Structure 1
Amino acid sequence: MTVSRVLRNRGDVSEATREKVLEAAKALGYVPNKIAGALASQRVNLVGIVIPSLSNLVFPEVLSGISEELEDTGLQPVVGVTNYSPDKEEAVLYEMLSWRPSGVIIAGLEHTEAARAMLENAGVPVVEIMDVDGAGVDSVVGISHRRAGRHMAEAIVAAGYRRIGFLGTKMPEDHRARKRLEGFEEGLAAAGLALADSEFYQGGSALLKGREMTEAILKRTPDLDFLYYSNDMIGAGGLLWCLENGYDVPGKLGLAGFNGVDLLDGLPRKLATMDACRREIGRKAAEIVAGRPHSGAIGGEVIELEPVIEFGDTIRKL
């Protein structure tokens, strides 16, 4: 019983005894049979994490926040990637839930009917992350992307820019980017403005995409005085292209991205952006799944974090 308590990280066992058991297990190369334990409990100590991308720099930081918070709980994160495909999300969820995990953390609020039904019937804590603009299955942790877009529009207009272009991903599956654009357009409309032009792309967020899109939109609409990018990666590519081609940034042309990724610290000029609270979102979601400080209850909690604009060097200072 003592060995079992130590290996399951449960029960009242002295630190000296715990160390002896763990040393013996290590020497023997012993790995506990989680499946056998799960037959009795109907649960494994895994938390299913479902995200759309690993190439997007946003999600590794979310995963870091989750891992940090789960570190001493006995729960282990297992990651599934959907590539922004609703059908793929459905398949990933089916496989994960078949293992009867102790919780699910999933990016976004939009799911197929089948995926939503699986989440509603999972019988474990479910936390939808990154977005609060919509109805959740259980608990929700994120930011309002619609409000984030509106606040960025207000800051751009306040800095005196008027001919504004948008560059970003095609919207059918990237719901958070769509909501930011909707909020951005609402903010412009409140100031009597509308987007002067836009440029969309498919595929991963990359510096090269940003360069290509920036060149295309400025050749097509050369009188633009601001470019708002749906993420920092393409924004960084756009900034590099503008500097290489002699644009006066931010005097004649302002730029801003979204997410606040560390990549921006290595640019010749700091791109304006908005911190999306990624690590904190991961930590809060893991707290709910682990029952800290929520007593392990399956919850219905909504935690909205507030992103902050980082003006950097690419928006005029008035």
Structure 2
Amino acid sequence: MRLAYRTHVRAGPGFAPDAALRAGAELRMAAGRLDDGSCPVFCSSMLNHAPLGVANYLGPRLAGHPALFLVWFTWAMRKERQVLRTLAAERLYRRRYPEHRFVFMCNEREEVALFRENGLNALFCSHNALADEAIFKPEPDVEPVYDAFYNAMMTPWKRRHLARLVPRAAHVFYESRLTGRQKTAELLDELKRLMPAHHFLNPHDAHRIEKLGWQAINTVMAASATGLCLSAEEGAMYASIEYLLAGLPVVSTPSVGGRHVFGTPETWLTVEPTEEAVRDGVAEMQARNVPRAHVRAITLAKVYEHRKRLRACVLVETDGQVDLPEDYGDAVYRRLNNWQRGLEFERLLIDDYRKA
């Protein structure tokens, strides 16, 4: 009944086909184009106010013209209410723009099954397959000094405290808009007291947290023996694929959201969510001493499987008009996690956008 009401009677702002296109941090989303101009193929993340990603902003500009929108998820989507919300949003949108197609890129096979059961076009292609392996890679000349590395939002659900017993750990962090500056600062102070031997690397004070650049983060990973993933639920977790591409084996707690799909028994160890288990897991992965180049090679093979599925999907959904490169290391697959804001979406409509 709720689905029918939202679709045919009244849609709330979260289901509206068109979102206002204006500059502002609240519009920040990852988005890019895959095509060469033959048929628009957009790939973007979804947000609460834009459940169809960049389509909710650019749809009116593309009315009457075919376009393919690939939408990926930044949070676990196994719950039925999340699927029905997406279904309502797609139905509303396609009533207005029936010439546009959608594929929902799922981070877990369980999500694929649930979406398909509800009539949505779903593909098992994790957004982590779009990470740039040219940025995240081993640095053999850097000497490891940390037992573990954790790159994550500074928020309680990331469960940093589970790393308390790891002797030497490095933390990179950033502020959550939902948590807010004051609570973020309080949590950071609490963790620093709890783990005085750990290094919190971002320059920061009570009023700001400076983000580290990708190269700096890659260097910290090179100086670390393992990567940590400690939340119970989220999306595919960007940091997890960064660890693996940089050659770090991962110690993770059980989770929902799909971060584990690029791991193997050699490169990924899942432990119970206790401080002792995390400590012991880090020690075990250090003892394995898997060569970093091997961790990366195994990971890239899995990444390329996802990119291969993406290429096949795009070819079918564009009726053969867009055939992505057979070289799965091509830059076209590696530039889609660039976060953009507001009016920057407009450049995606430029025919020669690759030069813009």
Q: TM-score, normalised by structure 1?
A: 0.34
Structure number with larger C-alpha Rg:
1
